[in-house]
Amino acid sequence: MIKAKRFLMYLFLCIVSFISVFPLYWMVSAATNKSADVVSGRLVPGTNFLENWRNLMANQNVGGAFVNSFKYAAILTIISLVVSSLAGYGFEIYHDKAKDTVMSIILLAMMVPFVATMIPLFRMFSSAGWLNTTIGFILPSISTPFLIMMFRQSARSFPHDIMEAARIDGLSEIRIFFQMFIPTMRSTYAAAMTITFMNAWNNYLWPKVIMTDADSQTMPMVVANLTQGYVTDYGMLMLAVLICTLPTAIVFFCLQNAFAEGITGAVK
């Protein structure tokens, strides 16, 4: 009875895991096969990878889009981490009633759906000449209530007597932040970094709105472009999907625990 139950539990987990992994396996395998083979149901990796690669490069500016996506995501991540952690630190370490009120107003911004701000932001950015620019991409997502809250939570565990000691030693407040807070909170920063980088890389709606030039397009946009034709070359399409997934998959595998902590981070 107990054995049968355990068996069913493992069977259930295996089925769920299979369903979770299979579409990704199919993507990798399709990226190495001819479109005709993919359609006929071939499920093992093939030898058409280079051909797909050549077709893809001839069809879309993948290299440019990849560099764009990486540039936007990397710059956004660095600035966002500094600005948000500084704010979270400021809210917690020097907290008083007024700052707590400001914090609860900021939390309300979590409820504002992006579509509700998208049109005014587009108008604002296009009159400022920020269409097709990095600043246009990053500005709306530099400071997020989620990250501020996450760093505010982690600043709570920053030992107060260390701060006092540093102050007596004559360290300025900003140096305490950069030289003591950041190194101690390395794991929070890793979590915040993975979540910010992944969100930036995967963002689709905002770049679709402001990146009107073909040269400024991001990787998800290129993938979406490839589905527009009447006949789909599955080998080429899945190779593009694979390239688009690779950076986030690498981050996922290297920093899985940090990522898990990142999405749940502000909650604890």
Give, as ranges, the residues between 26 and 45 that touch another protein (CB under 8 A).
Answer: 26-27, 30, 39-41
> Which residue bears the tokens 């108008």?
123
Contact status: 264 vs another protein (CB under 8 A): yes
- Cβ-based burial of 20 (10 A; exposed 0-12, middle 13-18, buried ≥19): exposed
Given the rule CB under 8 A, which of 21-29, 51-59, 128-136, 182-190 is the region that contacts another protein? 21-29
| Nearest-angstrom CA–CA distance, 62 and 222 | 7
With CA atoms as reference, report the closest residue to 226 among 216, 241, 242. Answer: 241
The footprint of another protein on residues 160-219 (CB under 8 A) is 173-174, 177, 201-202, 204-205, 208-209, 219
Contact status: 116 vs another protein (CB under 8 A): yes
Q: What tokens appear for 99 in the block?
A: 């700052």
Amino acid in the structure at residue 229: G
The footprint of another protein on residues 122-141 (CB under 8 A) is 122-124, 139-140
When binding is defined by CB under 8 A, the residue of 75, 83, 131, 214 that contacts another protein is: 83
Given the rule CB under 8 A, which of 46-54, 59-67, 128-136, 231-239 is the region that contacts another protein? 231-239
Contact status: 15 vs another protein (CB under 8 A): no
- Cβ-based burial of 88 (10 A; exposed 0-12, middle 13-18, buried ≥19): buried
Amino acid in the structure at residue 44: V
Contact status: 256 vs another protein (CB under 8 A): yes
When binding is defined by CB under 8 A, the residue of 2, 50, 58, 115 that contacts another protein is: 115
8 A C-beta contact, residue 208 and residue 221: yes
Name which of 56 and 148 has its Cβ closer to another protein: 148
Name which of 50 and 98 has its Cβ closer to another protein: 98
| Nearest-angstrom CA–CA distance, 66 and 221 | 10
When binding is defined by CB under 8 A, the residue of 75, 180, 190, 260 that contacts another protein is: 260
When binding is defined by CB under 8 A, the residue of 102, 135, 165, 254 that contacts another protein is: 102
Contact status: 87 vs another protein (CB under 8 A): yes
Q: How far are the Cα atoms of 11, 62, 79, 183, 231 from residue 188, in angstroms, in the given order? A: 36, 33, 16, 10, 46
- Which of 41-64 are b and which e, b meaning 16 or more Cβ less than 10 Å from the residue's Cβ? eeeeebebeebbbebbeebbebeb
Name which of 26 and 53 has its Cβ closer to another protein: 26
Name which of 64 and 225 has its Cβ closer to another protein: 225
Name which of 173 and 215 has its Cβ closer to another protein: 173
CA 96 to chain centre: 33
